[in-house]
Structure 1
Amino acid sequence: MSEEIRIYVADLAAYNAGHLHGVWIDATLELDDIQAQVSAMLAASPVEGAEEYAIHDFEGFDGYRLGEYQGLESAHEIACFIEEYPEFGGALLAHFNDLEQARKVAEEDYCGCYSSLADYAQELTEETTSIPQHLAMYIDYRAMARDMEYSGDLFTLETGFEQMHVFWNR
């Protein structure tokens, strides 16, 4: 992923008064730095006494949708997870909609990225089984992959052309 993971934090007092006032912030910065940028934005508000803010937009969350009233800490944790797992973090969060579960699956159940599930079935079979050379060409890895998927033993996330991330489903 080449896109910066950032949030647009809007000043709600200004917004309610008909002014667009906010700031784009790198959501992977330290939480204190994010809060300092929000405080500076509120201090520069065109409306006196501005205190409330909301996340009105976001970029780089790769398929995961932040809520408008998502807290800064939560948005920061999600952004850091996506930064840690840039190839599938956003898609995994969108799949589970739960950061802790997504983290557990990423750390414990990730099998790798393959161009197809059949490629994964072939790699797994060849690593775990001794296949006589004269029988190797008769193995139907696409059928094995289909059976693996139907059994519920694993799930996949497609994040691009021939980019299938495979996870055990425990």
Structure 2
Amino acid sequence: MSQAIRIYVADLAAYNAGHLHGEWIDATLDTDDIQTQINAMLASSPVDGAEEYAIHDYEGFNGYSLGEYEGIQSAHKIACFIEEYPDFGGELLAHFNDLDDARQAAQESYCGCHVSLADYAQELTEETSTIPQHLAQYIDYRAMARDMEYNGDVFTLETGFEQVHVFWNR
């Protein structure tokens, strides 16, 4: 079960008057629905004439730091990207800090989740080469993985124990 991707939108007039007033909102909802919830929260403000708001907290963004004044459109797009790629979306976005670059990497450069980069190097080698049985034990896949990373051929995102997401640098 994945964590909900949501934002806490705070009423700035109430905040400045010493009141905590806001609402947790699902950031993957349509932006019109998000705005409707914000408008309802502001209408129920303990301070008359409340109209300004800010994102004061968030959860489910998995490694990506959402800015306080990110904007609802931007927060929504980021949330939808993370929802589309729940295993690594937040970490990938944090790596690039650009939604278009992160989307391109996810769609064009993703090589899967592996136990380690060495595991991926072994899989790639065995899929693309015929290795004579008498030489197989002499191949150092950890060294191959290290060289792939040092040469800038790939980058990895480690999202958990033995969860290494591999991407080609293109």
Same topology, TM > 0.5: yes
Structure 2 residue 122 is the aligned partner of structure 1 residue 122: yes
Q: 1:66 aligns to what?
A: 66
CA distance in 2, matches of 1:36, 1:52: 14
| Length-normalised TM-score, structure 1 | 0.98
Q: 2:14 aligns to what?
A: 14
CA distance in 2, matches of 1:74, 1:151: 34
Structure 2 residue 32 is the aligned partner of structure 1 residue 32: yes
Q: 1:79 aligns to what?
A: 79
In the alignment, structure 2 segments of 5+ residues that lack a partner are none
Letter in 2 for 1:44: S
Q: 1:50 aligns to what?
A: 50
Q: 1:101 aligns to what?
A: 101
| Length-normalised TM-score, structure 2 | 0.98
Q: Aligned residues, how many?
A: 170
Letter in 2 for 1:155: F
> Post-superposition shift, 1:52?
0.5
Computed over aligned residues only, the root mean square deviation of the Cα atoms, in angstroms, reads 0.8
CA distance in 2, matches of 1:118, 1:101: 26
Structure 2 residue 69 is the aligned partner of structure 1 residue 89: no
Q: 1:112 aligns to what?
A: 112
CA distance in 2, matches of 1:100, 1:42: 32
CA distance in 1, matches of 2:88, 2:53: 30
1:111 counterpart SS class: strand
Letter in 2 for 1:72: I
What is the percent sequence identity of the aligned residues?
Answer: 81
Once the two structures are overlaid, the 10-residue window that deviates more, 125-134 or 54-63, is 125-134
Post-superposition CA distance 1:69-104 (Å, at most 9, x none)? 110010000000000000100001111111111111
1:69 counterpart SS class: coil
> Post-superposition shift, 1:135?
1.4
CA distance in 2, matches of 1:85, 1:23: 26
CA distance in 2, matches of 1:82, 1:115: 22
